[in-house]
Structure 1
Amino acid sequence: MKILILGAAGKIGQMLTNELLNKTDHSIVLYARNGHERLTVTDNCREAIFDGDFTDKNMLIEAMENVDLVYVNDMGNENSTKTIIDAMKVAGVKRVIAASVLGIYDEVPGAFGVWNNQMIGVDSSVGSRMKSQIESARLIENSNLNYTLLRISWLYNQEGNTRYMFTQKGEPFMGTQVTRQAVTQLIMHIIEEKSDKYLQASLGVSEPDTDWAKPSFY
C-alpha cells in the first residue's frame, strides 16, 4: 500500500510515519509545507517528501500518484479540505482518514461540553476555526469518498499509553482527553483493517475513564 500523509511534519504525522516504517512494508509520501527542511527521509526506497500546502491542487495531485490512502492531519480550513477532495478525485484516490475535533456536531454534553465550547466552540476566540472544522467535516461526508472521520478529544503525550475508545456519530461524546500515541495506534488499526468496518464513519476518539469536567492537564 502507498499512503500519503498530509501534514507529515505534525506530531501525529511524525508518529504515524515511524509506526508505518517500523511495523509495515507500506510506502509513504510525506507532504508538508517546507517539507524538505522539516522532515528527514530514513528509507529512500519507501519514503518521498513533497513541499506544499493544502491549497496547491497541482502539487497535491502529483503527490497522490499511485496512492491508495490519504491521511489528513488537519481540517481547520475548509478551502484546503475542498482542494484535497478535488485533488483526490482527479488522482483517482478514494480512501481518506481525516482528523477533526470534538464538538463539530454539538455532541459534547455536560460540564465538559460547556468548557469545550468556551475553549474552541463557534462563539469562542477561535470560533472561526471551529466553523471551518464543521464545514470541512460536511465536505468530507458529502464527498462520495471512502472516508473515516476522527473527532479527536484534547491531545497530550504519554509514552506507552495507547488506550482509546469510540463514540459514534449521533451519540454523546465521552472522554475529555486522549494521547497522540493512542490516536496514532488507532490510525494504524484503521489502515490495516481489511473490512468495511470504518468506512463512512465519524468516530469520536477519547481515552477510557476520562469523563471529567475538563482534561487533566488544564
Structure 2
Amino acid sequence: MKILILGAVGQIAHMLKSELLNKTSHSTVLYARNGHKRLTLIDKSREEIFDGDFKDKDKLIDAMKDVDLVYINDMGDDKSTKTIINAMNDAGVRRVIAASVLGIYDEVPGAFGEWNKRMIGGIPRMQSQIESARLLEKSKLDYTLLRLTWLYNENRNTKYMITHKGEPFVGAQVTRQAVTQLIMDIIEEKSDKYFQTSLGVSEPNTDWAKPSFY
C-alpha cells in the first residue's frame, strides 16, 4: 500500500511514518511546505517527499499518483480541505483518514464540555474544523474522521477508546502515541468497518473536567 501523509512534519504524522516503516511494508509520500528542508528520508526506496501547500491542487494530484490512502494531519483550514477532496476525486483516490478535534458536533457534555468550549469553542479554527468535517462527510470518499481530544505525549501509552457520532464524547485527553496506534489499526483493517465514520478518540478512564496537564 502507498500512503500519502499530508502535513508530514506534524508530531502524529512523524510517528505514523516511523510506525509504517518499522512495522509494515507500505511506502509513504510525505507532503509538507518546504518538505525537503524539514524532513529526512530514512528509507529512500519506500519514501518520497513533496514540497507543497494544501491549496495547490495540481501538486496534490501529482503527490497522489498510485496512492491508496491519504492521511490528513490537520483540518483547520476548510479551503484546504475542499482542495484536498477535489484533488482526491480527480486523482481517483477514495480512502482518507483525517484528524479533526472534539466538539465539532457540540457532542461534549458536562464540565469538560464547558471547559472545552471556553478553550477552543470561539476560535476561528473551530469553525473551519466544523466546515471541513461537513465537506468530508458530504463527499463520496471512503473517509474516517478522527475527533481527537486534548493531546499529550507518553511513550508506550497506546491506549485509546472510541465514541461514535451521535454519542456523547467521553475522555479529556489521549496520547499522540495512542492516536498513531489507532491510525495504524485503521490502515491495517481489511474490512470497510471504518468507512464513512466519525470517531471520537480519547484515553480510557479520563472522564474528567479537564486534561491532567491543565
Fold in common (TM above 0.5): yes
3-state SS in 1 of match to 2:100: strand
Cα deviation for residue 209 of structure 1 reads 0.1
Query: Any residues of structure 2 matched to 1:103-114 within 5 Å, and which?
Result: 103-114=103-114
TM-score, with structure 1 as normaliser? 0.98
Q: What does the per-residue CA deviation read over 1:86-130, in whole Å, with 9 as the maximum and x for residues that have no partner?
A: 000000000000000000000000000000000000x3xxx2100
Alpha-carbon distance in 1 for matches of 2:112, 2:53: 34
Q: What does the per-residue CA deviation read over 1:21-70, in whole Å, with 9 as the maximum and x for residues that have no partner?
A: 00000010000011001100111110000001100101000000000000
Instruction: Give me the CA root mean square deviation.
Output: 0.4
Q: What does the per-residue CA deviation read over 1:124-160, in whole Å, with 9 as the maximum and x for residues that have no partner?
A: xxx2100000000000000110000000000000001
Query: Any runs of at least 4 consecutive aligned residues in structure 1 with deviations exceeding 4 A, and if so which?
Result: none
Alpha-carbon distance in 1 for matches of 2:173, 2:86: 32
> 1:145 aligned to 133, 138, 141, which one?
141
> 2:171 aligned to 168, 175, 178, which one?
175
1:211 is aligned with what amino acid? D
1:73 is aligned with what amino acid? N
Gapped runs of 5+ residues in structure 2? none
**2:20 aligned residue:** 20
1:162 is aligned with what amino acid? T
2:128 is aligned with what amino acid? S
1:88 is aligned with what amino acid? M
Alpha-carbon distance in 2 for matches of 1:27, 1:160: 24
3-state SS in 1 of match to 2:29: strand
Identity over aligned pairs, percent: 75
1:2 is aligned with what amino acid? K
Gapped runs of 5+ residues in structure 1? none
Alpha-carbon distance in 2 for matches of 1:182, 1:173: 17
**1:56 aligned residue:** 56
**2:30 aligned residue:** 30
